[in-house]
Amino acid sequence: MNPRKLKKLKKNFRHQPLPQQKTAYMDRMMGYYKQFNDYPAIKILISNVLLADRMLAAGDLPQQLPLLQLPDDSEDQIYQHLNQQYPAGDPTGDKIWDQLIDALPHLDHDLRSFRDYLETHYGMWAYTSRPFIADLADFVGDRAVLEVMAGNGYISKGLRDAHKTVYATDSQAWTKENETGKHPVTPIEPLTALDAFHKYQDQVGVVVMSWSPDGLPLDWELLQAIRQADTTVDFVVLGEPHGATGSKTFWDHAQFTENAASRHLNRHYTAIDLIKDHVYLVH
């Protein structure tokens, strides 16, 4: 195949709808699902990953996830089960034991890497589940919403599906680096966070910012603009303070509101891995 034709084929593949792209990650998860079929506590974690991927591929928001971490007694569960199935010294039992114990660290790594898969495959950074969006919609009430840094628009789509008025915006600065913004699930207006706030501040009662880029002062610039504005809005921020999201200056100067509303917003926004992101009401 000549180089020009090969380049065209690769380009076409990259721009296929995401559900059509095969991934080694999901192939491995399907393999684990069969391999650990007899271990419910392990299998349920794999099932959650497979279901979330299936829902996202269908264009739906996924379900809430548990913490994707293997039970501490996984080896004991395997030992007890095999001990009941095979007598001591049985070569078949020994072989299955070796296979499962060898697979465990790989499964553990892949479960912890599900967020990486979501980022690279769907451009979803904050895990946006349907139950969380229902809580956010309750918080919004009859107010209009501005989402900044919307990426592919999962939060805005969920709120629009809940019949909320949403202005979804994103600078689209990351489309050359990852899947963010390449496959929007709802219409998104190309605006920076500051430009979006200046345009819509008089029309909205809630501003949502999810996973502001790590180390960049965009979040701090927006917070200053919100504080200086004549209008009052609720500023909903999804992120991990001094961790995977946002700038140090923002987290140093953000003031948090802790009340029934903030607790309600976190009711279904729970940790899925080692990143401890949270929903904050910032002022």
Q: Indicate where the chain has its CATH 3.40.50.150 domain(s).
A: 124-282
Q: Is 3.40.50.150 the CATH classification of the domain at 124-282?
A: yes
Q: Cα 131 to the chain's mean position, in Å?
A: 13
Predicted confidence band at 22 (pLDDT cuts at 50, 70, 90)?
low
DSSP bridge pairs for 206: 145, 234
Mean residue pLDDT across the chain: 91
Q: Which amino acid is at 266?
A: N
- Cα torsion 261, 255, 202, 163 to 10°: value is -30
**pLDDT tens figures, 148-175:** 999 999 999 999 999 999 999 999 876 5
- Cα torsion 111, 117, 123, 125 to 10°: value is 30
**pLDDT tens figures, 91-145:** 999 999 999 999 999 999 999 999 999 999 999 999 999 999 999 999 999 999 9
| DSSP, residue by residue, 57-98 | HTT------------TTHHHHHHHHHHHHS-TT-HHHHHHHH
Q: How confident is the model at residue 204, as a pLDDT?
A: 98
Q: What is the mean pLDDT of residues 180-202?
A: 91
Predicted confidence band at 179 (pLDDT cuts at 50, 70, 90)?
low
Q: How confident is the model at residue 89, as a pLDDT?
A: 85
Is this structure's pTM higher than 0.85? Answer: yes
